[in-house]
Amino acid sequence: MICKYSYCGSTFEPHDRRQLYCTRKCKQKAASAKWVKKVRITQPARYKTWLNKRVELHRKQVYDLAPGEFESTLEKQNNRCGLCGVEFDYSGRCNFMPVVDHNHITNQRRDIIHASCNRALGFLQESAEVCQKAADYLRRHDG
């Protein structure tokens, strides 16, 4: 049988015919996902509060950012990307949303940059040499 939790999908042998999930963890995650979907539609204010808490917790766990530190850093950067200098866009365009940039080797935080700028750094292997080669390439072909 295939696990009913949409992000798992692993094959397992059920203990009885009522077992739909491969593990208790998958069952809990599926229930949580169902709750989030329901609350997002029926109680948008509650969902937004829950989401903001989750984002703040993620920033604390991954980047060691204290509550409010993200906002104060945005203010210091004049609400502009630390890489390209363009203002952040909060209208739902994901590429221009602010994200925390960090070094994947040392895990040290850098600036807050656009999501698209962050992906570009990743594609360029976070290497100054590769970035310089990309800039040289563009200069050579843009005339």
Closest CA to 25 of 1, 2, 8: 8
Identify the structural domains of the chain with CATH numbers, from first to last.
Answer: 1-39 (no CATH), 43-142 (3.40.1800.10)
- Going through 70-125 in order, the beta strands assigned E by DSSP cover 98-102, 109-114
- Does the pTM exceed 0.75? no
Mind listing the pLDDT tens digit of every residue in the chain (143 residues)? 898 888 888 999 999 889 999 999 999 999 999 999 999 999 999 999 999 999 999 999 999 999 899 999 999 999 999 999 999 988 877 888 999 999 988 889 999 999 999 999 999 999 999 999 999 999 999 86
Specify whether the CB–CB gap between 67 and 74 falls below 8 A.
Answer: no
- Which of helix, strand or coil describes residue 2? strand
DSSP 125: T
Q: What per-residue confidence (pLDDT) applies to 6?
A: 84
- Which of helix, strand or coil describes residue 131? helix
- Tokens representing 4 are 């009913």
